[in-house]
Amino acid sequence: MKRKLFSVCAAAGIALFSGCGGTSDGGYANSSSSASNVSSTASTSSVSSLPANMSVGLSSLQREVRYLTDTAGMSLYTFDKDTLGMSNCPNIEGCEATWPAFTTPVVRDDFDTAGAYTSYYQHPLYYFSKDAQPGDVKGDDVKQVWHLVYPLKGFTETDEVKLSAGNRKQTYLTDKEGNALYTFDNDDVNVSNCYGMCEQIWPVFYDAVGDIADTYGIPAGLDPKDFTIIERDADRSEQDKQIAYKGQPLYYFANDTAAGDTNGDWVKGVWHLIEINATSVEPPKQSIGDVAKGETRFFKGCNNCHGDDGRTPALGISRVIAEIDDAQTVKALLTYLKNDGAGKSSFMVDVAQGLSDEEIDNLSAFIATLP
């Protein structure tokens, strides 16, 4: 999930449809991304809190999704404080050391390499220094500004960027009927920049508001004070009010036709679901390799460092491999060492690089059986 980015065009007062490469369709047709009929200056709006007796008709749903990784399975992240098309991480002390840039060029329209960063739909991509192995997602939602990337529906992998091996169970904000709600990166705080055709494709979330109830009906984990009512431009809008979450106006997507549809997430990189939380889904264990052949290979040298029972930390620093009971996890670790191994022992990298893919499968199958 991506939240509000600082838009260069909005900050400079440049019309989004002429200066940001947008179109009049609000970011739907041909996966374009910007709002229509946006004036050269941001609209003004008044903001009011939701009345205490008003239910905003909110709820939440869950979906299982995969996120972007590099070829070794290391997680990639985006940063809310970036500007579209430019990283602001170098301007923050210590940021680059904690969030190293993903720099591998990807030759495809949805990716771009500008300066030191590779971007997905103008969002620079990063690693998190505390992710030690494939499947780690320790950087997700750090300080509520760093996020995993759940790409546009229908995303296909490239030679350089993959989808995670495991899923994340993501809880996202919906209306009371389960219809997904979205935010728009090119909006300003408490100001919508979506009018005209954009408003037709991304209808305003407000009509569901108005039911009198004792509570807001807001999902657990969210603060009712984060929801406000903003005024829209009455001269350009079919709807004069809109609900905002943390200053971000909320919308539906016209191409979502049923509860549970999330077709608008990441459209051109500027429309996003509002993530409430996410947890990793334990992948089903799969049989790979030949256990007997793996045992034979293990006792041709691996046991010298890891112990015959796999319970000796190799070089005194490695994890206890006997505690890994999933062959796919072992395979991911060995594959990472073979293909990258950044920050790992050079000795183990050399060992892994000497293994064939079949040997990795067999070793993984055997190691997963260690008691």
CA gap 84, 11 in Å, rounded: 12
Asked if residue 138 and residue 47 are part of one domain, the reply reads no
> For 160-218, what is each residue's pLDDT tens digit?
999 998 888 888 999 888 899 999 999 999 999 999 999 999 999 985 444 434 445 67
- Pairing mode of beta strands 111-114, 146-148: unpaired
Asked if residue 270 and residue 213 are part of one domain, the reply reads yes
Asked if residue 236 and residue 190 are part of one domain, the reply reads yes
pLDDT score of 326:
79
> For 329-371, what is each residue's pLDDT tens digit?
888 888 888 887 666 778 888 888 999 999 999 998 899 888 8
- Pairing mode of beta strands 146-148, 77-79: antiparallel
Asked if residue 312 and residue 274 are part of one domain, the reply reads no
Q: Does position 8 have pLDDT exceeding 50, yes or no?
A: no
> For 223-270, what is each residue's pLDDT tens digit?
888 888 899 998 898 888 999 999 999 999 999 999 899 999 999 889
The proportion of the chain whose per-residue pLDDT surpasses 90, expressed as a percent, equals 46
Asked if residue 153 and residue 72 are part of one domain, the reply reads yes
Asked if residue 144 and residue 98 are part of one domain, the reply reads yes
pLDDT score of 287:
66
DSSP string covering 308-321: TTS-S-GGGTS--G
pLDDT score of 160:
94
DSSP string covering 29-68: GGG----BS--SSPPP--EEEPPTTEE--EEEEEEEE--E
161 phi and psi, to 5 degrees?
-125, 130
> Edge to edge, what strands does the sheet with 168-175 contain?
58-65, 168-175, 275-280
Asked if residue 181 and residue 86 are part of one domain, the reply reads no
pLDDT score of 36:
31
Within a domain: residue 286? no
Within a domain: residue 156? yes
CA gap 241, 224 in Å, rounded: 18
Provide mean pLDDT across the span 94-115. Answer: 91
Asked if residue 32 and residue 90 are part of one domain, the reply reads no
Residue 322: which CATH number? 1.10.760.10
Q: Does position 51 have pLDDT exceeding 50, yes or no?
A: yes
Within a domain: residue 107? yes
* Encoded tokens for 289: 């390799």
Closest to 41 (Cα-Cα) out of 24, 16, 7, 18: 16
Asked if residue 128 and residue 88 are part of one domain, the reply reads yes
Provide mean pLDDT across the span 92-100. Answer: 95
Q: Does position 126 have pLDDT exceeding 50, yes or no?
A: yes
pLDDT score of 282:
60
Query: Domain count of the chain?
Result: 3
pLDDT score of 26:
55
Asked if residue 267 and residue 195 are part of one domain, the reply reads yes
Q: Does position 20 have pLDDT exceeding 70, yes or no?
A: no
What is the DSSP code (8-state) at residue 298?
A: I
Within a domain: residue 55? yes
Pick the more confident residue, 127 or 20: 127
Within a domain: residue 2? no
CA gap 205, 252 in Å, rounded: 6
Using pLDDT thresholds of 50, 70 and 90, give the confidence band for residue 39.
Answer: very low
Q: How far is CA 198 from the centre of its chain?
A: 24
Last residue of a domain, one of 280, 300, 319: 280
pLDDT score of 283:
56
Last residue of a domain, one of 165, 192, 216: 165
Within a domain: residue 3? no
- Residue 185 gets the label, from left (phi > 0), alpha (psi -120 to 50) or beta, of alpha
Closest to 64 (Cα-Cα) out of 282, 222, 331: 282
Provide mean pLDDT across the span 80-87. Answer: 90
pTM over 0.85: no
Within a domain: residue 127? yes
Q: Which domain holds residue 195?
A: 8-62+172-280
Asked if residue 268 and residue 307 are part of one domain, the reply reads no
pLDDT score of 284:
54
Using pLDDT thresholds of 50, 70 and 90, give the confidence band for residue 19.
Answer: very low
Asked if residue 245 and residue 177 are part of one domain, the reply reads yes
